[in-house]
Amino acid sequence: MCTDCGCSATTLQIERIDPPGTRAPITPLLKTHHHAHVHADDHTPATGQIDQLEHALLQRNDAEADSNRRWFQRLNVLALNLLSSPGAGKTTLLEKTLLALQGERPLAVIEGDQATARDADRIAATGVKVVQVNTGTGCHLDASMIHRAAHQLEPLEDHLLLIENVGNLVCPALFDLGEHKKVVLLSVTEGDDKPLKYPHMFQATDLLLITKVDLLPYVDFDVERCLAVARQLNPQVESLQLSARSGAGMDAWLEWIRQQRR
């Protein structure tokens, strides 16, 4: 897991991107060892050590996530964690969602990427406040990053907080951020076998969004086969199909968000 994938010592940067895209640095570049690691004498972790480290890492993250969740509840914040592989359409969906919901309730976004503020700049262009988290070699957001980033968005009372996680179908599934719901995007261009290949992600999600459905006539993607596997892994999972570009299915997605609020 993350104890040996390279993100145990990562360079983290958090900065607020103010509309219309001007940067307001909040947290300077720093080295952060947010994943504990212990090595044997030959610098290779033993299996037992790895198991202990993974358990301790996830236990600490879960405690921080619980703290985040209580804080969100006190502030009446609805937090949604958007997860997917790179290129599934998270940022485009966020842009269209923010524009559609503006005026209904206050909105805020946390953007997670290994590098650049490209996505945060796109969100800032909608007029919504946003913080960019660059994880360096890190492959996912964790609860401590969300704690630090969310405090840069204050005041957050009554907000809808949308978190775009680092593009990755592996590690983000294991890390609770304190969100109320996990939303996994799967684009039709990726293939319908992803629930089989990445079962932990689809077991963890609350809502499966099949995206880019306007491209279904041009790709080999069996929607029903994909959903059947996802439901075997997670009988409680909800699912929607949409295209942020064409607008198909967007009304159902927006109504799902409103239902979570209610």
117-164 pLDDT tens trace: 999 999 999 999 999 999 998 999 999 999 999 999 999 999 999 999
Residue 39 pLDDT:
37
- φ/ψ (deg, to 5) at 17: -110, 110
The mean per-residue pLDDT over the stretch 194-210 comes to 98
Residue 10 pLDDT:
58
Nearest by Cα to 117 from 18, 225, 200, 43: 18
pLDDT at residue 5 tops 60 = no
Residues in Cβ contact with 156 at an 8 Å cutoff, skipping those fewer than 6 apart:
72, 75, 77, 106, 108, 150
pLDDT at residue 238 tops 60 = yes
- Write down the CATH superfamily of domain 10-261: P-loop containing nucleotide triphosphate hydrolases (3.40.50.300)
Residue 62 pLDDT:
97
Residue 28 pLDDT:
40
pLDDT at residue 44 tops 60 = no
**Band (33; pLDDT cuts 50, 70, 90):** very low
Residue 35 pLDDT:
43
pLDDT at residue 225 tops 70 = yes
Residue 6 pLDDT:
52
Whether cis (ω within 30° of 0) applies to the bond prior to 19 is: no
The mean per-residue pLDDT over the stretch 109-115 comes to 97
The mean per-residue pLDDT over the stretch 18-31 comes to 56
Domain ranges of the chain: 10-261
The mean per-residue pLDDT over the stretch 21-26 comes to 60
**Band (201; pLDDT cuts 50, 70, 90):** very high
Query: Do the Cβ atoms of 171 and 5 come closer than 8 Å?
Result: yes
In whole numbers, what is the pLDDT of the chain averaged over residues? 89
**Helices then strands (H, E): number in the chain?**
8, 9
